[in-house]
Structure 1
Amino acid sequence: MSMPQSYDVSLLDEERYRLLVEAITDYAIYMLDADGRVASWNPGAQRFKGYEAWEILGEHFSRFYTNEDRLARVPERALRTAATEGRFESEGWHVRKDGSRFWAHAIIDPIWDRSGELLGFAKVTRDLTERRQAEAELRRSEQKFQLLVQGVTDYALYMLDPEGHVSNWNIGAERIKGYTAGEIVGKHFSQFYTEEDRERGEPERSLETAKREGRFEREGLRQRKDGTRFWAHVILDAIRSEDGELLGFAKITRDITEKVQAQKALTQAREELFQAQKMEAIGQLTGGVAHDFNNLLMAILGSLEILKKRLPNDPALKPLLDNAIQGAERGAALTQRMLAFSRRQELNMQAVDVPALVNGMMDFVQRSLGADTRIETRFPGRLSSVVTDPVQLETALLNLVVNARDAMTTGGLITIAAEEHVASERPAKLKPGRYIRLSVADTGEGMDPETLARATTPFFTTKGVGKGTGLGLSMVQGLTEQSGGKLAIESWKGKGTTVSLYMPVADSSDCPQSSETSMPSPTETPKGAFTILAVDDDALVLMNTTLMLEDLGHTVLEAYSGTEALETLRKGDHRVDLVITDHSMPRMTGSELASAIRDEWPDLPVVLATGYAELPSGGDNRLPRLPKPFSQNQLQEIVASVLGGGAAPGGAD
């Protein structure tokens, strides 16, 4: 049998208990005799049962139960359970004096005298109606809210003593924080804060604010038992007695991680959408003007090359011509770089000598830097070549150097270095093999871990609006991975950044060592003159193409459109060996012309000349390509490569 227990409750604890009960729940505490008749009645019982003491004393307590429970003999079973097991506890509907029902939590404890005789029962009833209704309403509200924000919100509700030690702990707190009540009660609440916040004195500051102003509310990072962090909305209320004495604090913590992440994702999505729309507009603009701009450069370069051949070797004129040709070639390179920002280019994979490539662009790089920025190169005496696109690698290095320059607001040192690495070292999770590590290091401000994690994200930039596209590092990463390697970034706040490109070492069977090695040798170059049909809707370009071909000894037929070209071929006045056609022409593109030629003259080769980095939709990527603007050497090379395989003159007549 269970014997009664006594509790030594301090006045302070009684006051806390009274404040807590009046704030949250009402209790009815009364006594029953051994038969279940009411023997005492407290004001709390009178308040929510509805009976005055003189009305209920001596009456059987079963009148508080519903008819259904009385018929099921629930009151008798409750007393019997309490007497035999030492306690009875249940929740269910009870009835007030006016007949209204309320949801009650009831506890019945037996009371024994010293000889073990049953004297009666102590009964505590708690009205849970409002809580039950609130829980049902909360469940309905949470279901609606979950549909709206696609998340669940939990609450940690617990008390702190005046010094900030946890005095009680609810299930929500256990779920959010990860501690059980036995692990955390009595511990200081500052252990929920991050180490950085503890060093700044945030826990103490929050208690002082709540003590001074009555309430403290803030959002910030908090720490769970397992060390993981979550974003929390915290409310801290001071609890005082009637005479104003501070009894402690009520603390509510809400996990809003999903909400904060959703807001950040939305903000980031908006920023990326803006950048994407801006870059799409730039891409459309550059794609539209590239053809016309390259045609202008084509006319300039072609005329300058022919002029250089035909002018006397005058020392006063030659430098001027060379400068003009170099300027036009730089304009062509600039166009290709602009196109690289707006659309992905097909890589021209070659074996590239890294030191030679870097040294070849140093003059241009130096002019891109300020007077207070120095640049150094560090290469070993012997270094294997890498497999990549040399033009795209040059563009990537230029992007990295510009980023390094921008990171050093007061100047500093940029170091371009290269060394060989073996994949077994796994510096960047590489596949087995030999790699060259090409790095660009600066002594700038560096990046924090959060910025470093997003550094290669397309359209992410720290340079501010209008100062960066956010595509530089993502382009470098794309080039490196397309080349079969990996990109690695090391950065420390205040100590600079090192960006490393791990690219595979070139094998002799991978690709030609340079563009010159892929050209037909003099013995492979087709002998004799050919009849070539040149097609272009731009008169300047067509004139220069004709001049360069005729200067090479070929006979040239001209056509200003695809329709005119077909008419020329169908006339049969000349046996045509090769067709070189522009792609972007009105009414019939170069690809469409090639298709028509293939239908009628399947053995007649066609070369597509275009200023686009990638052919627009509908272009025939199977055709040999001659990139605009092209030089006479490139023109000679494409003729040699297409007709050098034994094609007989006179493909169409």
Structure 2
Amino acid sequence: MPLLPEPMSPEESFLAGGGKIGAAMRVHDWSASPLGHPSAWPQSLRSVVSLLLNSKFPMFVAWGPELGFLYNDSYAEILGAKHPGALGSRFSDIWREIWPDIAPLIDAAMSGEAVYRENLPLLMNRKGYDEQTWFTFSYSPVWDESGHIGGMFCAVAETTDQVLAVRRQRFRIELEDALRGIDEPRVLAERAVTALGRHLGAQRVGYAKVQPDGETIAFDACFADGVQPLNGSFALAPFGAERLARQRAGQTEVCADVEATTEADPAAWRAIEARAFVSVPLVRDNHFIATFYVNFRESHRWTTQEVALIEDVATRTWAAIEQATAEIALRQSEARFRALLTTGAYSVFRMSPDWRELRELDGQGFLADTTEPSAGWLATYVHPDDQPQVSAAIREALATRSMFESEHRVRQADGSLGWTHARAVPMLDSAGRVTEWFGAASDATARKRGEEALRQLTAELEQRVAIAVEERQAALAQIHEMQKMETIGQLTGGVAHDFNNLLTPILGALDTLGRKLDGDERARRMTAGGLQAAERARTLIQRLLAFSRRQHLAPRPVDVPRLLSGFADMASRSIGPGIQLSVSCAAQLPPALVDPNQLELALLNLVVNARDAMPDGGELAIRVTEEEVPRKVGLGEGRFLRFAVTDTGVGMDAMTVKRAIDPFFTTKGVGRGTGLGLSSVHGLAAQSGGDFALDSQPGRGTTATLWLPVSGDVLSDPDHAANDAVIPRAAGETVLLVDDEDLVRGGTADMLADAGYTVVSVGSGFEALQKIHTGLVFDALVTDYAMPGMTGAELAREIRRLRPDTPTLMITGFATLTDREAGGLPRLAKPFRQAELVGTLADLLETDKGSAQLA
């Protein structure tokens, strides 16, 4: 059994748990810290420290005029070698190297302004060397008991790997585009080394060929920035025999600092101003042929991703160069082949000096033979559309007394249409006069047909490539948006859990206090105001969870006019002043059966889409009516509420309307939409038993219609029910309460005790099991889910093994907790009020008693 935490004073109880950092804080020497000893810390700081110590998300708080620094286990990983020395130190001393970058943001937070940055670049030194990093984080002011800002709180996620991965992928796409269509090997090499050098910020990147002797290397292409490019030839031996052996074996050579190794004379590297390098060899048939290298003038810590990228670029470059070289060889071979055909053509002909008469033609089966002079040869053999071209070539040959050459269509010996490539040279007498023209014509029919097929194929391939590039760019933009939404969702879900824990004792204490102030009307009003603010905070968290899709669908009867009265303000802030918003509901509307948070999110998606369709302003109307709908496709027969969101925007054509609800389809620019908004609205309608439709025409705006079923249950006022609900009194039952949060556990225990229960409170599952093993008798278990060491589900499973019929209630601040994770136990979401807690527990106990009587 795990050891219990060491004893501590009540003033230090907020440091309970918290993993390794919590343990370190309990034994830390605080004498040199500007924060002083934890026993003297204000309650506001203690609450924040308790929150971050028990969170799995990287967090820290900086407190006081000197910004003393406290953090949790997850943030310690970000600190690297700065931990544990950073604990309790001054913020500015810890992050001295990035202070100029973050100081203005800290000043803003300490002035009361919340700050959020996404993928902020920071040059850090946390492992003994400088490294470029990226972070997404928020700075929030924290008020102390006097109402002043006592410090700032930060939730942070390092996004360095994601940013670099996106950059590397973008570089690969750009490199592929840069190399496409280039058929000159040297140009290919120059473009590749230049692109990689600029991407890595290297001083030199090059491509070099090993000479036939195997001992020297000739530099073919070189990018240089701040150093001299490498030209000519170099001997390989001075750069290290062992390195050369590995290169010949096909191994990539990586060196962070040649001055720190003994494998070669550093003078050879100093001579070319290189201190760090990567060299990727090209080996063919066990022969070291070439190398692709990257140099830094100073020492450089190569990452695995950088080396992999260099190897990938080298492979792509070599493949492109080898293909270009092969294509050049092919073209040269084709030229020699054409020359051979010219001297040994299939058809041979003789023409008069002025080309008016064909004297003889030996067609060799390709063209019809003629042995008699023919003055009408042009019309007989050449296609009418090509005769002007042939006549122009004849005139040029006659004028220059040079070779006649033409490629044109001809009538073949079998009467079909074909192609020929004809050449003729003038035959001169001793006086230099042209006596005749002697020529040869080859059959080019198959080649021309192949070229036409190739042109068609090339056009088709170019079209396919263009479509593929466009789809890839759209996919990259969608991935970026999805990653951003996932990051926001993770951050929102984690923070919402912690704030639910904070709201639970606040809501419970105000609720219990309000029930005991019958004679003090002013105190009741103040308590009611606090309860209203806490309920609004709970609603706000539910909206955030709905936005981040971190909440289960929970349909219930919804008062639509009341929901829209609160939604109108949020919608107005979302659309801006240039759009006139009107909201109306038909009289005596029945309640809708839907998840209210998801309905708000669906309406917000429709409102934002309408706003984007009206860049120059316009009118936006939300109308809700009741309809008696006959059975139709997508919608069952019955009573429905019809939500119509109508704008005066640009509208959509029929094809766009048809695709609008497809996942990831969007007409917005890159980075402006995920293509999931209308898809999620359609999904809500389908899951709720309703339907969704779009009606739009270009230039005439759009109407989005959402049908939701009418609820058959009577609508209750949740605020009135919570305020005036009768609290069932306990009949002397004993409740075992388990929660690792002191404030939550204390507030929950007070609510149960006020209802007449005898409460035994413990801070962990291990303590609860100790109580049971020492003879504790209790009637019900109320346990938190997320606790260090042992979760509430694991505790409940162990207690049911010992006491199978124990009624158990799971309380949790996680909105995404599934039935499987909760072990199938009844759940009550934090924050809750006394009526909710006591009522749920009373129902469990009553059910248990009924089961016992039946047994």
Contact 1:526/1:643, CA 8 A, preserved across alignment: no
Matched, 1:388 2:695: no
Q: In 2 relative to 1, CA 590–129 (structure 1 residues): closer, same or farther, beyond 3 Å?
A: farther
Q: Which of 549, 567, 578 in structure 1 is aligned with 2:780?
A: 578
1:302 to 505, 508, 523: 508
Match of residue 500 from structure 1: 705
2:775 counterpart of 1:569: no
Highest RCO, 1 vs 2 (Cα 8 Å, sep ≥ 6): 1
Distance in 2, matches of 1:137 and 1:603, equals 84
1:99-143 deviation line (CA, Å, top 9, x unaligned): xxxxx953279xxxxxxxxxxxxxxxx97843325656888x79x
Structure 1 residues 372 and 270, CA gap change in structure 2 (3 angstroms): closer
1:284 to 474, 483, 490: 490
Partner of 1:547: 750
Q: Normalising by structure 1, report the TM-score.
A: 0.57
Of 444, 449, 461 in structure 2, the residue corresponding to residue 130 of structure 1 is: 444
CA separation of 1:357/1:422 partners in 2, compared to 1, >3 Å: closer, same or farther?
Answer: same
Please state if 1:332 is matched with 2:538: yes
CA distance in 1, matches of 2:596, 2:678: 17
- Of 489, 508, 528, which residue of structure 1 is paired with 2:731? 528
Give me the whole-angstrom Cα distance separating, in 2, the residues matched to 1:531 and 1:279. Answer: 45
TM value normalised by structure 2: 0.45
2:841 aligns with one of 625, 632, 639 = 639
SS in 1 for 2:809: strand
RMSD of aligned alpha carbons: 4.5
SS in structure 2 at match of 1:438: strand
Structure 1 residues 600 and 415: alpha-carbon distance in aligned structure 2, compared to 1, 3 A threshold: same
Q: Secondary structure of the equivalent of 1:619?
A: coil
- Residue aligning to 1:587: 789
Q: CA deviation at 1:566?
A: 1.9
Report the alpha carbon displacement of residue 606 of structure 1 after superposing the two structures with TM: 1.4
Structure 1 position 524, deviation (Å): 12
Counterpart of 1:415 in structure 2: which amino acid?
A
Distance, in Å, in 1 between the alignment partners of 2:537 and 2:807 is: 30
Report the AA paired with residue 631 of structure 1.
R
- 2:593 touches 2:710 (CA, 8 Å); kept in 1? yes
2:815 and 2:589 map into 1 onto residues whose CA distance is 31
| Within-5 A mapping of 1:12-91 | 42=358, 45-46=361-362
Code of the residue aligned with 2:532 in structure 1: it is Q
**Is 1:397 the counterpart of 2:603 in the alignment?**
yes
Aligned match for 2:414, one of 104, 107, 113: 107
Deviation at residue 257 of structure 1 after TM alignment: 5.3
In the superposition, relative to structure 1, how do residues 270 and 522 fare at CA in structure 2: closer, same or farther (>3 Å)? closer
Rounded to whole Å, the distance in 1 between the matches of 2:594 and 2:570 is: 21
Q: Give the match for residue 643 of structure 2.
A: 438
Aligned residue for 1:599?
A: 801
Q: Distance in 2 between matches of 1:261 and 1:329?
A: 51
Q: Distance in 2 between matches of 1:308 and 1:263?
A: 64
For residues 357-414 of structure 1, give each alpha carbon's deviation from its aligned partner in whole angstroms, at most 9, with x where no partner exists. 3345445555666455443334333444433223322332244334444544455433
Partner Cα distance (1:515, 1:649) in 2: 32
Q: Distance in 1 between matches of 2:358 and 2:683?
A: 79
CA contact under 8 A between 1:591 and 1:620: conserved in structure 2? yes
1:414 aligns with 2:620: yes
Deviations 1:503-528 (A, max 9, x none): 233346xxx75597999x99996752
Tell me by how many angstroms 1:542 deviates: 0.8
| 2:475 matched residue in structure 1 | 269
CA contact (8 A) 2:579 2:619 kept: yes
1:573-617 per-residue CA deviation (whole Å, 9 max, x = no partner) reads 3x3222121111112111111221222211112111112222169
For residue 711 of structure 2, what is the amino acid of its counterpart?
A
The residue identity in structure 1 corresponding to 2:731 is G
SS in structure 2 opposite 1:502?
strand
Q: Which runs of 5+ in 1 are unaligned?
A: 1-24, 31-40, 59-103, 110-125, 143-152, 156-232, 234-253
* One-letter amino acid matched to 1:45: L
Deviations 1:139-162 (A, max 9, x none): 8x79xxxxxxxxxx558xxxxxxx
Q: Secondary structure at the match of 2:783?
A: strand
> Which residue is equivalent to 2:825?
623
State the one-letter code of the partner of 1:358. Answer: L
Structure 1 pair 554–399 and aligned structure 2 pair: CA distance change class (3 A)? farther
- List gaps (5 residues or longer) in structure 2: 1-344, 351-356, 374-410, 417-439
Shift of 1:630: 1.3
Matched, 1:611 2:817: no
CA distance, structure 1, for counterparts of residue 650 and residue 491 of structure 2: 35
Aligned AA (1:285): L
Most deviating of 438-447 and 372-381:
372-381
Shift in Å, 1:260: 4.1
CA offsets per residue over residues 150-203 of structure 1, 9 Å max, x none?
xxx558xxxxxxxxxxxxxxxxxxxxxxxxxxxxxxxxxxxxxxxxxxxxxxxx
Does 2:664 match 1:487?
A: no
Distance change in 2, residues 1:57/1:262 (3 Å): same
Query: Could you say what secondary structure the match of 2:583 adopts?
Result: strand
Which residue of 2 is the match for residue 78 of structure 1? none
Q: Which amino acid aligns with 1:393?
A: L
Alignment of 1:297-376 (within 5 A): 297-310=503-516, 314=520, 316-343=522-549, 345-359=551-565, 361-362=567-568, 365=571, 370-371=576-577, 373-376=579-582
Cα displacement (A) at 1:432: 4.3
3-state SS of 1:358 partner = helix
| Cα separation, partners in 2 of 1:623 and 1:29, compared to 1, 3 Å | farther
Change (3 A) 1:401 1:370: same
Corresponding residue pairs, total:
442
Distance in 2 (CA, whole Å) between partners of 1:316 and 1:44 is 123
Percent identity over the alignment? 40
